[in-house]
Structure 1
Amino acid sequence: MLETERLILRPLTGDDFDDYAAMLSDPEVAGGLAETVGTSSADAWRSLATFIGHREIRGYSHWALVERATGAFVGRAGPWQPYGFPGLGVGWCLARAHWGKGYATEAGRAAVRYCFEELAAREVISLIKPGNARSVSVAERIGHRHLRDLDYRGQQVHLYGQSA
């Protein structure tokens, strides 16, 4: 578990499912992700299970973001490198009610720091869907720069990143 000024970053669990499913049921939230995710409860279940399974396989994964002041589920963020991913990545996904508060940047900075300090990463990347200006802004605020565009799982994405 990590803490930032306003957030608790803790492992995602099955207890997060209702909040997680509510977040992904918003087409604007799901539609902004670099990797296609549906908006049904079944899609949310598979997505949550993927992140929990990733932690079991790799030893790290996205965390649940919890607002320290209220205990509210904000979203997820953290390190990520599933099979076939082009490097050690950090990502973020927030419920729309929490957009514009700086939480993605706060969690993204913590994730990058974790990757460099705890995982001894030499480079950390983020894949961003074209047109997702909010995520581009977060990537730039956490120190990433645009490196190149690439095809990832059948769709074009922007690859942002930074070196240690």
Structure 2
Amino acid sequence: METERLRLTPIGPHLADELFRLHQDRGIARWYGNWTRADAEARAAEIGRSWQRDGVGKWLAYHRESGELLGRGGLSYQDVDGARRLEIGWAVREVQWGNGYATEIGLAGLACARELRATEVAAFTEVHNVRSRAVMERLGFTYRHDFPHRGEPFALYAISVES
């Protein structure tokens, strides 16, 4: 899939090294922890299975012209706040924060959700992640409430995507 500035490539086991490299970024590791190569291999395999099983998953995001690895994002099904929901997320290398890439990844994910005829998409982040929350609001998501996730307070947002 391509957007105005991005080439979005579905993650699978063949991209484990790229996923590992991405998660070595200080800004991404701040939110997702320090990944080992084994962590990246397991996550890439899991995302590959998600693409096969659910028809959705996460992409690696590359700059269309330069080929630079910028981040990742996309859709997945997650147990969120006690329900299985179609969830959207993104992570962008710290050096690229503020350039609109998270919003562009989010718009691509919402377009896919519409193609799937989804009625709603959820997004969530740590309550203190103001940058991610701003992206959610820029995309039209509405704050619902805080909820506990992995022992931390997270903010849940949702958007209706019916055509």
Query: Would you call these one fold, judging by a TM-score over 0.5?
Result: yes
Gaps of 5+ in 1: none
Deviation at 1:9, TM superposition (A): 1.4
1:3 is paired with a residue whose SS is coil
The match for 1:155 is 152
Q: Which residue of 2 aligns with 1:55?
A: 51
The structure with the greater share of residues assigned to strand is 2
Distance 1:99 1:22, change over 3 A: same
Relative to structure 1, is the Cα distance of residues 115 and 105 closer, same or farther in structure 2, using a 3 angstrom cutoff? same
Structure 1 residues 90-135: Cα deviation after superposition (integer angstroms, max 9, x where no partner): 100122232221111011011112102x111111110111211110
Work out which of the residue numbers 76, 98, 114 in structure 2 matches 1:100. 98
Q: Distance in 2 between matches of 1:98 and 1:120?
A: 32
Structure 1 residue 144, shift from structure 2 partner = 0.7
**Which ranges of structure 2 fall in alignment gaps of 5 or more residues?**
none
2:12 — aligned with what?
A: 13
Q: Give the ranges of 4+ consecutive aligned residues of structure 1 lying more than 6 Å apart after TM superposition.
A: none
Count residues in correspondence: 158
TM-score by length of 1: 0.86
Percent identity between the two aligned chains: 32
Instruction: For 2:93 and 2:43, locate their aligned partners in 1 and report how far apart those are by CA, in whole Å.
Output: 15
Q: Within the alignment, does 1:68 sit opposite 2:50 as a pair?
A: no
Q: Distance in 2 between matches of 1:53 and 1:27?
A: 27
Contact 1:38 1:44 in 2 (8 A): no
Deviations 1:13-45, CA, capped at 9 Å, x for gaps: 334333321221235313324xxx542222222
Per-residue CA deviation, residues 42-68 of structure 1 (Å, 9 max, x unaligned), is: 222222222122112211101121110
SS in 2 for 1:70: coil
RMSD: 1.8
